[in-house]
Amino acid sequence: MFILCAIFNVYFVFKFLKNKGTAMSSAAQEKTQVTANNLEAFWMPFSANRQFKKKPRMFVSAKDMHYTTDDGRKVLDATAGLWCCNVGHAHPKVVAAVSKQVQELDYAPAFQMGHPKVFELASRVATLMPGSLDHVFFTNSGSESVDTALKIALAYHNVRGQAGRTRLIGRERGYHGVGFGGISVGGLVNNRKFFGSLLTGVDHLPHTHNLKENAYSKGIPQWGAHLADDLERIVTLHGADTIAAVIVEPVAGSTGVLLPPKGYLERLREICTKHGLLLILDEVITGFGRVANTTTAAEYFGVQPDIITLAKGLTSGTIPMGAVAVDKKIYDAFMQGPENAIELFHGYTYSGHPVAAAAGLATLDVYQQEGLFERTKELAPYWEQALHSLKGLPHIIDLRNIGLIGAIEMEPIPGKPTARAFEAFLQCFEKGLLIRTTGDIIALSPPLIISKQQIDEIFGTLSTVIKGLA
Ligand code: PLP
């Protein structure tokens, strides 16, 4: 291990010095030698830092369906990075668009100024959104999209003279990123309990995950639509005129692939409409062909939200970018008063960044030209069959799927929650397969360009690894 780390250090120091050329002072060189590849300085997000730094797992390049590790091994990407690289890695069209853009216009101020590509991308995204979601606000991540959506919902009621509508309703086990808004409406204890009192005036619907009723469902589970009726209880408790919006993921991904029971989202929509609450669907992972041959899950489920949050697949993860698509009635409510007045006091330095916009446009082109959303639909039955072929293997207590999403839920080792799935993750990585785990759930979401042969490879490796787990 020590030798490996030393080789690593020498390699990185060499690379670093080479890049810096000879202009570097000897004092700086000395410091560089000490720190250039000291793994310590980087505080890794959502990671076991100390464990990782003892035995790092490093990717140095990626192409199509594969990563390459620093020791030259190819790793099949069964997670599209983090649910984002839908067109596969280093797609030539996206790479070319980004390279061209960075030379042409590297940055343009986002406030009171524009550049053509961001308007073009907004129009393209708007045409892909269901119903009258025809205005688009750009952000840089899913978390920012969620916080933006929540703020727009609050401000919308405010500008319409209903400033008393300040409550936000999320759901247990929901994941809406890591901003204060997102963790407040989210429902994951570890993401909330360390961070103080969060937003006030937030309530939560019950989650919909129930193995007793729905284990081994293929696609949408049948049981549980009635869980949406809890929204009526919350409305009765607080009064509709105090509630601004309800936010849910149509399919929760990061919390372990939790599927909406048949009729559940429709019921939520009905109750929101009845009481004048905005329905926000967080489509950060479900957007852009992940669940079906539609851009959004909303369209697939036939449920029309007032706001959709997007990120990830928008640029296929190439350049960070998020978006919030809002209904015409919401945008119009803000477009009142003097024309020289700023209508929404919100935005980011990098909202609609030119390079991200170029990546977004190229990504949308690729989706269309390569028919990738149709591909999801075509491959989904094969994917479902391959996933469910794992039924009966040791430790597995559920398998569930939709589109090109799959989950394998395992019985936790008594007293050691998460350990079993994490061991599977480590062993898969050694065998050249990247999977993702949340608790004791393995979540799979490959790039949409995956082949049947690669699907077989994923489940072949998983089967071998799971059979060998303690
Ligand atoms: N919302 C949902 C549904 C997500 O799955 C995620 C990330 O996985 C986010 C928001 C946060 O996105 P980001 O990590 O880009 O901030």
Q: Is 258 in the pocket of ligand 1 (CB under 6 A)?
A: no
pTM beyond 0.85, yes or no: yes
277: closest CA among 299, 248, 298?
248
Residues 6+ apart with CB under 8 A from 274: none
Does the residue 31 lie in any domain?
no
Please state, for a pLDDT cut of 90, what percent of the chain lies above it: 92
Q: Is 170 in the pocket of ligand 1 (CB under 6 A)?
A: no
Ligand 1 atom closest to the Cα of residue 254 is 5
**What average pLDDT does this structure show over 155-183?**
98
Cα distances (angstroms) measured from residue 459 to each of 74, 384, 387, 407, 422: 17, 11, 7, 12, 17
Indicate whether 4 pLDDT > 90.
no
State the pairing for strand pair 396-402/167-171: unpaired
Does the residue 11 lie in any domain?
no
Ligand 1 center to 142 CA (angstroms): 4
Q: Is 141 in the pocket of ligand 1 (CB under 6 A)?
A: yes
Q: Is 203 in the pocket of ligand 1 (CB under 6 A)?
A: no
CATH code for the domain of 300: 3.40.640.10
Indicate if 355 and 437 belong to the same structural domain.
no
pLDDT tens, residue by residue, 348-402: 999 999 999 999 999 999 999 999 999 999 999 999 999 999 999 999 999 999 9
Indicate whether 37 pLDDT > 90.
no
For residues 205-218, one letter each, b for 16 or more C-beta atoms within 10 angstroms of the residue's C-beta and e for the rest, the string is bebbbeeeebeebe
266: closest CA among 287, 292, 297?
297
131: closest CA among 336, 337, 279?
279
Does the residue 264 lie in any domain?
yes
**What average pLDDT does this structure show over 25-42?**
69
Rounded to the nearest integer, the mean pLDDT of the chain is 94
Indicate if 307 and 163 belong to the same structural domain.
yes
Indicate whether 14 pLDDT > 50.
no
pLDDT at residue 21, as a whole number = 39
Which of the listed residues 350, 369, 388 is the one where a domain comes to its end?
369
Ligand 1 center to 30 CA (angstroms): 40
Distance CA 219, CA 405 (A): 10
Indicate if 357 and 377 belong to the same structural domain.
no
DSSP 67-127: EEETTS-EEEESSHHHHT-TT-BT-HHHHHHHHHHHHH-S---SSS---HHHHHHHHHHHH
Indicate if 305 and 193 belong to the same structural domain.
yes
Indicate whether 415 pLDDT > 80.
yes
Ligand 1 atom closest to the Cα of residue 142 is 12
Identify the band that residue 13 occupies on the pLDDT scale cut at 50, 70 and 90.
very low
Q: Is 321 in the pocket of ligand 1 (CB under 6 A)?
A: no
Indicate if 182 and 289 belong to the same structural domain.
yes
The answer to whether residues 376 and 299 touch, using CB atoms and an 8 Å cutoff, is: no
Tally of structural domains, the chain: 2
Does the residue 10 lie in any domain?
no
Does the residue 14 lie in any domain?
no
Please give the residue range of the domain that contains residue 403.
41-90+372-467
Ligand 1 center to 310 CA (angstroms): 9
Residues 6+ apart with CB under 8 A from 123: none
Indicate whether 434 pLDDT > 60.
yes
Ligand 1 atom closest to the Cα of residue 174 is 3
Identify the band that residue 30 occupies on the pLDDT scale cut at 50, 70 and 90.
low
Indicate whether 408 pLDDT > 80.
yes
pLDDT at residue 3, as a whole number = 41
